[in-house]
């Protein structure tokens, strides 16, 4: 327990820094967009209606979706700028997150600033005209100070929202306090989840209080309070950003959103840091986003699986032998994307059909071919997506599988179901630690109907010729057996004596005889 | 009679607030001589305030012309014009976020006076409107209605305008304060040789303070004369009935008050017997 808190504290400066930088930038953009917009809109009823409607529509888009939508948009713009001006934009990480959060911050600031301006007694506005103020003087000397308290309340709301919503940025590869939450959820490390929530909430409360001080200063015309609020905010932001000032990390290591990926990213980090390199992790990437991020050099390295690349990136439906597939993938990725396939780590994380050892022996089932003969009397438990995947179509076609009953579960409950016998066969991931832990047997696939899912180390175009990176990672190639990986995954996935991905990575490194850890 | 050119000349001014369906002003012509204290009276919606606002371009006429000191106001820069004309508001209109001194000094500041000049002028004006110097750092909300209106008067005359426009300046004040401030302002008007245009719907104020009274009705000027002549014309056959009614009102009230006072005096007299 204490160790997990220590683990959480260790990465706090980095996560907090990035979270603060993200929120401060988004809020600044939001304020400097919304306030001038409010001033214009206050004078033009039609613009006011349009601006408010658009800001409200943005607010109705779920935060995660808004972040995700910026990814293809920026990717498109990046292609455009690249062809027109010769530079590309990062489509992942900081930029899309800041843009999405800025859009989110607009509505409360805009709405409150407009309300503040509309709430000024018209007689005061007329007085400003009558004493001879120009429209600009009237704005700065009368309207802005009088609307400030209400506008500040909007900025406070925006700040709290932004700090909360910024935790979602982890999913598009921007490190934030959300990394605690996302990785904690995946590895069922509730200490991390709580830690992330508490840290984000504390930050939001603190910022809200400071902005409240400025707001009170604006209401009571107390320059002292306004100055104090700004000073503490500026100082706090400055202090929070200190950990980032050590220069940009040299290697960005990506990970998708499950335990094995976290462990492998840790392992690669340890390898690189042993060489004296600095690193940064971009964890919790969506499966579709990860490869594009690599091809765009937004991340430098990550592990993907041959079958995924084969169907998702290359859009192939045939199932060639393992060697041919890896060869073709390597050639395709190099030619089309400039991505280097460093090699296979040595294990596979494929879809596999698994049964309890006792049950399989009882029915005399060793292969999927054997299974097909009994399937009409058996119950099949799958994860939520398997039945709509090409693997299932391929299996049915190759073996003529027809089960008596098919039931879908979330992964955790699928393993429970096979444990208590309510299903006979499940779809497992071949490197899942629970296969060993629950003494399941993976059925052989003699017709090679399921494409292989070898874990491949992929390197971005930008780092294609980086010998230090290759040098640090080559020792891992071909070294990790599926049994080792299952063991490491189980350390993280199990409920009792749960380990962090970092500890699991240290275990892997030690068992490979790689480092002095 | 060889009269000098009027300081304010409003010629054939018309104004509609709804694109010509109804008119707040219809072909209004009015001249105000320098040094005059003119009161505009009439029912609500008669066009008094609209007409007055044409003078400093808070309202732009649809047709006709307004000249101040011989110059057409439409050709002047509006903020510059307004800095040269004092304005006292209905509902006072002080800036709530500025101190008394900042309120008074606003027009001099906009005109680019030096801070010491502004400070000296503010001090002078506080004396002139009979407010203690210690009030200069207070915000308007900390002052009584009468004190606020004194500040508003000081603000209007801070940049030494020749013309002061007043829109129902004493409407929000209690009768006693209203009387005191009205009288005090009239004294300032004399002392500073101002030309004042005051919109009011209180005939008593108009009669007691003004040199001339302009009566408006439905966007027209229906009478424009000295208080004495107007009062004398109440019974005249050519006086429009709405003007007569308006003019007769203060007189009628004065008579009723004196009747009540006579009765009261008699009653008190008897009870002491």
Q: CA-CA distance, A173 to A155, in Å (whole number)?
A: 27
Q: For residue A517, what pLDDT is reported?
A: 39
Residue B246 pLDDT class (50, 70, 90 cuts): confident
**Domain contains A431:** yes
Say if residue A130's pLDDT is above 50: yes
Contact (CB, 8 A) for A488 and A357: no
pLDDT, average across residues A460-476: 88
Q: In this complex, is the C-beta atom of B58 within 8 Å of any C-beta atom belonging to chain A? A: yes
Q: In this complex, is the C-beta atom of B197 within 8 Å of any C-beta atom belonging to chain A? A: no
The CATH number of residue A196's host domain is: 1.10.3720.10
Q: Average pLDDT over chain B, rounded to whole?
A: 88
The contacts of residue A475 (CB under 8 Å, 6+ apart) are A271, A512, A514
pLDDT, average across residues B141-166: 92
Closest residue on chain A to B165 (Cα): A130
Judgement on whether residues A375 and A276 belong to the same structural domain of the protein: no
Q: Which residue has the higher pLDDT, A464 or A187?
A: A464
Q: What percent of chain A has pLDDT over 70?
A: 97
Say if residue A160's pLDDT is above 50: yes
Judgement on whether residues A114 and A13 belong to the same structural domain of the protein: yes
Contact (CB, 8 A) for A406 and A378: no
Enter the tokens of residue A157: 């709301």
**Domain contains A343:** yes
* Interchain pair B83, A142: CB under 8 A: no
**DSSP E strand stretches across A349-443:** 351-356, 379-382, 405-408, 425-429, 440-442
User: CB contacts < 8 Å between A and B, how many?
Assistant: 54
Judgement on whether residues A310 and A227 belong to the same structural domain of the protein: no
Judgement on whether residues A142 and A223 belong to the same structural domain of the protein: yes
Residue where one domain finishes, among candidates A218, A246, A274: A246
Q: For residue A333, what pLDDT is reported?
A: 92
**Domain contains A420:** yes
Contact (CB, 8 A) for B198 and B55: no
* Interchain pair B91, A123: CB under 8 A: yes
**Domain contains A382:** yes
Residue where one domain finishes, among candidates A220, A246, A272: A246
Say if residue B2's pLDDT is above 70: no
Which residues numbered 482-511 in A keep a CB inside 8 Å of some CB on B? Answer: none
pLDDT single digits (tens) A239-289: 888 877 665 567 889 998 788 999 999 999 998 888 878 888 888 777 777
Q: For A86, left (φ over 0), alpha (ψ -120 to 50), or beta?
A: left
**Domain contains A516:** no
Helix axis angle for A2-43 and A223-241, nearest 10°, is: 130
Q: For residue B115, what pLDDT is reported?
A: 95
Say if residue A505's pLDDT is above 70: yes
Which residues numbered 151-180 in B keep a CB inside 8 Å of some CB on A? Answer: 155
Judgement on whether residues A264 and A147 belong to the same structural domain of the protein: no
**Domain contains A163:** yes
**Domain contains A447:** no
Residue A423 pLDDT class (50, 70, 90 cuts): very high
Q: For residue A516, what pLDDT is reported?
A: 42
Domain boundaries, chain B: 8-226
Q: Which domain holds residue A378?
A: 351-442
Spatial strand order in the sheet of B195-199: B85-88, B163-167, B195-199, B37-42, B212-217, B220-225
Q: What are the angstrom distances between the C-alpha of A231 and each of A160, A245, A499, B26?
A: 19, 20, 42, 59
Q: For residue A397, what pLDDT is reported?
A: 87
Statement: the pTM of the whole predicted model exceeds 0.80:
no
Contact (CB, 8 A) for A235 and A22: no
Say if residue B86's pLDDT is above 70: yes
**Domain contains A392:** yes
The contacts of residue A295 (CB under 8 Å, 6+ apart) are A337, A338, A339, A460, A461
Best of B84, B87, B92 to substitute, by most chain A Cβ atoms within 10 angstroms, is: B87
Q: For residue A385, what pLDDT is reported?
A: 74
Closest residue on chain A to B81 (Cα): A132
- Nearest-by-Cβ selection for A124 from B83, B95, B110: B95
Say if residue A412's pLDDT is above 80: no
Residue where one domain finishes, among candidates A442, A465, A481: A442
Contact (CB, 8 A) for A255 and A304: no
Judgement on whether residues A203 and A239 belong to the same structural domain of the protein: yes
Judgement on whether residues A79 and A118 belong to the same structural domain of the protein: yes
Contact (CB, 8 A) for A67 and A22: no
pLDDT, average across residues A198-204: 94
Enter the CATH code of domain B8-226: 3.40.50.300
Smallest Cα distance from A145 to chain B, Å: 7
Q: Average pLDDT over chain A, rounded to whole?
A: 87
Q: For residue A245, what pLDDT is reported?
A: 67
pLDDT single digits (tens) B10-30: 999 999 988 888 889 999 999
Spatial strand order in the sheet of B71-72: B25-32, B8-15, B63-68, B71-72
* Of B147, B154, B139, residue with least CA distance to B105: B154
Say if residue A478's pLDDT is above 80: yes
Q: In this complex, is the C-beta atom of B83 within 8 Å of any C-beta atom belonging to chain A? A: yes
Q: How many domains does chain A have?
A: 3
**Maximum mean pLDDT: which of A100-104, A136-140, A391-395:** A136-140
Judgement on whether residues A182 and A269 belong to the same structural domain of the protein: no
> What ipTM does the predicted assembly reach?
0.87
Tokens 């917009």 — which residue?
A: A37
* Interchain pair A131, B139: CB under 8 A: no
């Amino acid at each position: 327990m204490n160790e997990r808190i220590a683990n959480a504290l260790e990465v706090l400066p980095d996560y907090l820094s990035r979270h603060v930088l993200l929120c401060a930038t988004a809020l600044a953009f939001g304020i400097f967009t919304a306030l001038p917009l409010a001033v214009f809109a206050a004078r033009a009823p039609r613009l006011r209606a349009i601006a408010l409607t658009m800001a409200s529509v943005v607010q109705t888009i779920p935060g995660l979706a808004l972040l995700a939508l910026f990814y293809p948009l920026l990717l498109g713009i990046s292609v455009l700028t690249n062809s027109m001006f010769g530079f590309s934009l990062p489509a992942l990480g900081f930029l899309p997150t800041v843009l999405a959060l800025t859009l989110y911050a607009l509505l409360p600031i805009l709405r409150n600033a407009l309300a503040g301006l509309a709430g000024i007694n018209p007689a005061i506005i007329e007085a400003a005209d009558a004493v001879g103020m120009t429209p600009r003087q009237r704005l700065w000397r009368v309207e802005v100070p009088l609307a400030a308290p209400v506008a500040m309340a909007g900025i406070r709301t925006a700040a709290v929202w932004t700090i909360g919503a910024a935790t979602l940025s982890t999913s598009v590869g921007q490190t934030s306090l959300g990394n605690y939450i996302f990785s904690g959820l995946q590895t069922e490390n509730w200490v991390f989840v709580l830690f992330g929530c508490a840290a984000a909430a504390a930050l939001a409360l603190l910022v809200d209080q400071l902005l409240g001080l400025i707001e009170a200063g604006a209401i009571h015309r107390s320059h002292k309070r306004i100055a104090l609020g700004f000073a503490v905010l500026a100082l706090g932001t400055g202090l929070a950003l200190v950990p980032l000032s050590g220069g940009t990390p040299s290697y960005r290591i990506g990970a998708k959103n499950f335990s094995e990926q976290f462990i492998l990213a840790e392992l690669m980090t340890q390898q690189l840091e042993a060489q004296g390199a600095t690193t940064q992790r971009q964890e919790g990437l969506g499966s579709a986003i990860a490869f594009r991020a690599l091809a765009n050099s937004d991340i430098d390295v990550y592990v993907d699986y041959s079958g995924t690349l084969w169907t998702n990136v290359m859009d192939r439906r045939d199932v060639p032998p393992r060697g041919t597939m890896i060869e073709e993938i390597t050639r395709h990725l190099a030619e089309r994307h400039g991505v280097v396939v460093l090699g296979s780590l040595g294990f596979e994380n494929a879809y596999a059909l698994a049964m309890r050892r006792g049950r399989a022996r009882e029915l005399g089932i060793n292969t999927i071919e054997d299974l097909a003969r009994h399937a009409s009397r058996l119950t099949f438990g799958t994860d939520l997506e398997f039945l709509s995947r090409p693997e299932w179509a391929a299996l049915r076609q190759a073996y003529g599988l027809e089960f008596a009953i098919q039931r879908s579960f979330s992964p955790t409950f699928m393993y429970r179901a096979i444990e208590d016998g309510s299903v006979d066969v499940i779809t497992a991931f071949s490197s899942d630690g629970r296969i060993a832990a629950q003494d399941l047997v993976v059925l052989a696939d003699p017709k090679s109907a399921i494409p292989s899912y070898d874990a491949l180390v992929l390197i971005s175009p930008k780092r294609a010729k980086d010998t230090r990176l290759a040098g640090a990672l080559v020792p891992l190639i071909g070294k990790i057996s599926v049994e080792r990986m299952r063991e490491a995954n189980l350390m993280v996935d199990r409920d009792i004596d749960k380990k962090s991905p970092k500890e699991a990575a240290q275990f892997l490194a030690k068992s490979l005889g790689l480092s002095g850890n | 009679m060889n009269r000098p050119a009027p300081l304010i000349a409003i010629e054939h001014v018309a104004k509609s607030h709804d694109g010509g369906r109804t008119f707040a002003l219809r072909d209004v012509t009015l001249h105000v001589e320098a040094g005059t204290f003119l009161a505009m009276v009439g029912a609500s919606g008669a066009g008094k305030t609209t007409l007055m606002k044409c003078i400093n371009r808070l309202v732009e006429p649809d047709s006709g012309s307004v000249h101040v000191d011989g110059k057409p106001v439409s050709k002047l820069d509006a903020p510059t014009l307004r800095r040269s004309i004092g304005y006292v508001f209905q509902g006072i209109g002080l800036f709530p976020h500025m101190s008394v001194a900042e309120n008074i000094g606003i027009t001099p500041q906009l005109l680019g006076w030096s801070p010491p000049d502004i400070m000296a002028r503010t001090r002078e004006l506080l004396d002139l409107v009979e407010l203690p110097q210690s009030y200069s750092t207070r915000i308007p909300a900390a002052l009584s209605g009468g004190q606020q209106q004194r500040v508003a008067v000081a603000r209007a005359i801070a940049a030494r305008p020749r013309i002061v426009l007043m829109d129902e300046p004493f409407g929000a004040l209690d009768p006693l304060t209203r009387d005191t401030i009205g009288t005090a302002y009239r004294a300032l008007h004399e002392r500073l040789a101002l030309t004042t245009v005051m919109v009011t719907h209180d005939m008593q104020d108009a009669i007691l303070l003004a040199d001339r009274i302009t009566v408006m009705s439905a966007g027209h000027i229906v009478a424009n004369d000295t208080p004495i002549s107007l009062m004398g014309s109440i019974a005249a056959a050519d006086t429009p009935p709405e003007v007569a009614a308006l003019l007769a009102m203060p007189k009628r009230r004065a008579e009723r008050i004196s009747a009540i006072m006579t009765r009261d005096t008699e009653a008190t007299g008897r009870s002491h017997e």
